[in-house]
Each structure stands twice: as structure tokens, then as C-alpha cells.
Structure 1
Amino acid sequence: MTMFRRTAALAVSITLLMGGAIALAPAASAAGSSACTYNLTDFTGTADGDGINFRAGPGTGYTVKGRLYDGDRLRVSCGKGRWYYSKLAKRSKGGLAKGTTGWIRSDMLYQLAG
């Protein structure tokens, strides 16, 4: 019986430790400006196309926060690879609120000016 209790206690401890580690690890959808590898001194960009994914992180594996449409304006602050971290300058045509932050692929912008 004592061996059973020790084994059960060990199993519970391992489960709690693993669960705690999983709970503390950031989700793929939680990537913000800390994921940037270079800065762009606060540029303005304009979306080039309709239905562009505005993502939670720099890659297609991150969740989509909403869609951007031709002419939606963004303030781009930094980037990682071909992705720019940005903030909406005003409410998007897709309904995202002004100030919403997210990631857009660099080739989805047709204007980038300081």
C-alpha cells in the first residue's frame, strides 16, 4: 500500500509540474513586438488587397485576429523576416478597432513611408 501511495504521489507531482510548465509557456498566438528582430522607426503602411490576414504572430501558424482590406492604414514599428508588427491607425474596413496590434506580411503593403 505504501508503494502505491508513493507512486500515486509521484504521478500527481509529475502531472502538476508538466501542467504548470505548459500553462507558463506562451501560446503561439501571444507573440507581440518582443518577437521582432529589427526596428522600423514608426512607418506608415497601407494594405494592398482585400481579405489580408492580420495575425497574432510573424507567420502563418499564428491565429488570425481579423482581415484587412485595400487602403487600411497601419503604423509599422518593427519586423521579423518578411513580417511587420503594426498597429491600426483607424478602424479597419474589416471591423478591427483602431489601435489593434498584429502582424502583416511585408508584401501585403503597397506604401511604407516614414
Structure 2
Amino acid sequence: MLAIVLTNEVLVGNVKLTDSLDCSDHEMVEFKIIRAARKAHTKIATLDFRREDFSLFRDLLGRVPWDKALKGRGAQESWLIFKDQLLQAQTRRIPTKRKSGKKAKRHAWINKELLDSL
């Protein structure tokens, strides 16, 4: 009974415990669904690769002195340094756009032409 009352999928009311069915040791629960809860539309910020100039992105990563940055480091430490530099360049150079509603569930790289060909 508690799971039905606390759910956030629907709003319920008039919750009553009634007798069990035949020999069952479970009790029946009667309730009235008042209305479905409103689903919030989430807005997701995605990277807009169509507006990116990758030559500037490449140039920004090329300015990093990789020999000095990775000298004497292990594979894991080198990967973390590279990943950090890549994410910094990404936030500086690749613009974002807001997506909401049904299209927010699709990945940014899936466009209409790709969907039509699939």
C-alpha cells in the first residue's frame, strides 16, 4: 500500500485495504487514480558539432607541450592529463545548444538524414 501512495507516477486517493481473495494471505488494495502526474520537460545542453571549427580545436590542443606534460608519467596519469586538456579545449571551442522534449532523448549526432536512411 505504501508503494502505491508514495509513487510519483500518479496521484492516488481513497486508498482502502479490503479482504483477501479466497485462501490468499495477501490483502487487496482499492484506490482511485485522481490524475496522472505531469512529467517535467528536461532541458539538456548538448555539444553542437555542426557549428564547430575543428581546425581551431586542433590548434588549441597543438599548443599544449605534450612532451613536458607527459614526461615520466604512467599510462593512467598520462590519460588523465590528456583527458583534462581535451575537455578544457572542448568547453572553450565547441558551442552548446539546448534540447528539450522528445528530441532531447536522441544523441546529438543523429540527424534527420541519418534517421531517414535507417
TM-score range, shorter chain: under 0.3
For the pair shown, the structure with the greater C-alpha radius of gyration is 2
Q: Name the TM-score, length of structure 1 as normaliser.
A: 0.21
More helix by share: 2
Q: Name the TM-score, length of structure 2 as normaliser.
A: 0.21
More strand by share: 1
